[in-house]
Amino acid sequence: MTKMEKLKVLFICKDNSVRSQMAAAFLNRYFGDHYEAYSAGLEPSEINPYTKKVMEEIGIDISSNCAKSIEEYRGKKFDCIISLCDYAAASSSRFPECKKKLNNYFKGYCTPIFCEIAEKSDACFPEHKKLRGKINKGPSDVKDTEKEILAAFRCLREEIFDWIEKEAMF
């Protein structure tokens, strides 16, 4: 009996600091028998400390991870590349070679606390500059208290996990 080769999946977002880190960690942890997941950013920064914290809460240690550039994967072949923000999807011509491209934007999370570019421009989703409906009781802005930021990161973590669990047939 021959060993089945794992499918290679690359998750891409702008910074490689939140969404792509979470998605790759989940796919490797729960579906690592079938997939080999990587993450990269178009303009990598540093992994957001809240990303590390909320993943550690559920027993996934990404403390040794570092944000990587998509350029590090140039020349490598992937079975699937998944962009996790509009900014990444708009830059898909920069992606390495792959058999399949998918997009899942997690639109409600393109806010300054999750993505540096959201703070600087309207390149992502201007209608979602304020996170509503996830941790707020009404239309007020997200306050930058640690409790609220962690709540928002936990919501994103759960949304990414649910998506990976349902869609892990890339």
Q: Examine residue 150 and state whether it is found in any structural domain, yes or no.
A: yes
Residue 85 designated active-site: yes
Give the Å distances, CA to CA, from 15 to 18, 48, 84, 158: 8, 9, 11, 20
Assess if residue 1 is contained within a domain. no
pLDDT band at 111 (very low <50, low <70, confident <90, very high): low
Q: Which residues contact 27 (CB under 8 A, 6 or more apart)?
A: 9, 11, 35, 37, 164, 168
On whether residue 30 sits in a domain, the answer given is yes
DSSP string, 72-131: GGTT--EEEEEE-SHHHHHTGGGS--EEEEEE---GGG-STTT-HHHHH-SSS-GGGSS-
Is the residue at 86 inside a domain?
yes
Task: Indicate whether 2 belongs to any domain.
Answer: no
Is 13 among the residues known to form the active site? yes
The domain spanning residue 151 has which CATH number?
3.40.50.2300
Higher pLDDT, 4 or 44: 44
Percent of the residues in the chain that have a pLDDT greater than 90, as a whole number: 53
Model confidence at 97, pLDDT cuts 50, 70, 90, reads confident
Nearest to 152 by CA among 52, 21, 23, 54: 54
Which of the following is catalytic: 85, 110, 115, 124? 85
Of residues 108 and 117, which shows the higher confidence score?
A: 108
Rounded to the nearest 5°, which phi and psi values hold at 103?
A: -135, 135
Q: Is 110 a residue whose pLDDT tops 70?
A: no
Q: What domain count does the chain have?
A: 1
Cα distances (Å, whole numbers) of residue 125 to 31, 82, 130:
31, 18, 10
Q: What is the pLDDT of residue 151?
A: 87
Q: Residue 126: its pLDDT value, please?
A: 40
User: Within a domain: residue 39?
Assistant: yes
Q: Does any domain span residue 116? A: yes
pLDDT per residue over 125-143, tens digit each? 343 344 434 444 333 444 5
The answer to pTM > 0.85 is no
Is the pLDDT at 42 greater than 60? The verdict is yes
Bridge partners (DSSP) of residue 78 are 98
The mean pLDDT value for 47-75 works out to: 95
Per-residue confidence band for 106, with pLDDT thresholds at 50, 70 and 90:
confident
Note down the domain range covering 26: 7-167
